[in-house]
Amino acid sequence: MIPDPFLDRVVGPYRIVAQLGAGGMSMVYRAVHTRLNRPAAVKVLRRELVDGGEAADRFRREAQAAARLRHPHVIHVLDFDVVDGQPYLVMELMEGGSVRDWAAAATARDERPALAEVLRITLDALDGLGHAHAAGIIHRDLKPSNILLTDRGRAVLSDFGIARVAGDAAHTATGEMLGTLAYMAPEQGLRGEVSIASDLYAIGIILFELTTGRVPFEGDTPLGTLMKHVQEPLPDPRSLNSDLPPPIADVIAWALAKAPTDRPTDAAALAEALRAAAVQCGLALPERVDLPERELPAVISGEARHGFVGLARQDAATETPLAQGAGRAQPSRTGPAVFAGLATLFLANLLSIGFAGMLGSFPAIISRLWPFEILWLAFFFSLIAWARRGTGMLTPIGITLAVGLPSLYYGLSGDWQAWWWWVFAVAATPTAILSGYALARRDPPRSVARLNAGLVVLTGALCAVAIIGAFLAVR
């Protein structure tokens, strides 16, 4: 067995005394300040990731994001430095372990976590989250293993490794999808859009999980989990826990609304609703959480995994881009779609030229066949939309149809005096742009697959009409 190179080693003013946890990105140690005799947690980036770029940048961002915050319910960063080329982060030690540990201890006793204490934890987390949001920081990876407990039962937010910081252009690129799928809002999983609303959605998932013993949406694959967040209605938490008061269940449902605009406006609004629900059902909220008598392992981040029967099994997806998980779940159809579209264009033109030459009417047919090229473009865009399973191609499809339909009419009829078709094109083009943009910004409806398939059939049929009509028009 290879000895741990950091155990019993002095790093800066801290002596490493024990390992608390280890994950794919870093190791976490218990340490003691050599002069102040104060305990701390030291998180060290794995040596094999030091030159990896993204992992080192994420580690640095975690230190910078947490260091900007000073709040009782946000973990305090004490130091950040490098030893032998490996960055390390020093934070206050959370003697109470994580909320996942706390809930697992209740499960081990065949008990549910006490509702009043669940609300206390949630309110503490919302208090810290509101402070982070006010500082322009979106956490992006809230879950029970990233909410820690002090030895006095106070909940503290931790693990800001993938947080989005306002003004950090390098870390706010559109489409970046990091986090844990079981706790990820639909818009975050689909488009990488993160906001106050997406963090509050994660808080809603945590609240659902702690009150029922399971997360609301679990799929067989990462993509399956995401699509359940997007499409399936929220299970009634009272069907899983009949003792849950209806006012609390209503607040959970509010936080887990599919559309971001239907959720609470900020952390304070959600906290106020929880307090009002507690008053309504006569629930007295404690000042702190009672910790189990046995000592729980202190975990400084969500990387040290602990079993929690009945809770989310998707923690292994943490810090994994959605595109990677989705790619494993379903093979890409984009390549075959592009091939099919280009093959259609090539074969249609080849056959049209061949038959036109055989009929001896090549110039007449070609003069009427040109709208096919525009309609083929709509068909090609529709194939891409079907392959990518999204609504992002609706605008180019609409624009090409707006121009292609009047062109088809003129090409087949030769009636260039019918000016109303051009009015249609002028009106339809901006309509297609605006409606396509609006639909692309929304979570895809349940029928998005049928919509894209229908567009493929429609545009393909129009292409066929353009070819057949050109030949019939010159007969």
Q: What's the CA gap between 412 and 468, in Å, rounded?
A: 10
Q: What's the CA gap between 430 and 395, in Å, rounded?
A: 9
Which residue pairs, CB below 8 angstroms and at least 24 apart, start in 46-55?
Answer: 46/86, 47/85, 47/86, 49/25, 50/85, 50/86, 50/87, 55/25
Catalytic residue among 101, 124, 127, 141: 141
- Active-site residue flag, 110: no
* Spatial CA neighbour of 364 closest among 405, 403, 412, 417: 412
* Helices 196-212 and 246-255, packing angle to 10 deg: 140
Q: What's the CA gap between 189 and 444, in Å, rounded?
A: 12
| Residues 198 and 185: beta-carbon distance below 8 Å | yes
Could you tell me which residues come within 8 angstroms of residue 427 by beta carbon, excluding any fewer than 6 positions away?
A: none
Query: In 141-198, at which residue ranges do the beta strands (DSSP E only) sit?
Result: 147-149, 155-157, 164-165
* Tokens (6 digits) for 170: 């390098």
Look at residue 326 and give its three-state secondary structure.
helix
Within 10 angstroms of residue 161's Cβ, the number of other Cβ atoms is 29
Q: What's the CA gap between 213 and 206, in Å, rounded?
A: 10
In the sheet that holds 39-45, the strands lie side by side as 10-11, 14-22, 26-33, 39-45, 86-91, 77-83
Q: What's the CA gap between 251 and 229, in Å, rounded?
A: 18
| Residues 210 and 103: beta-carbon distance below 8 Å | yes
- The vertex-136 CA angle with 135 and 142, nearest 5°, equals 95
Q: What's the CA gap between 471 and 220, in Å, rounded?
A: 51
Q: What's the CA gap between 154 and 403, in Å, rounded?
A: 63
The catalytic residue positions are 141
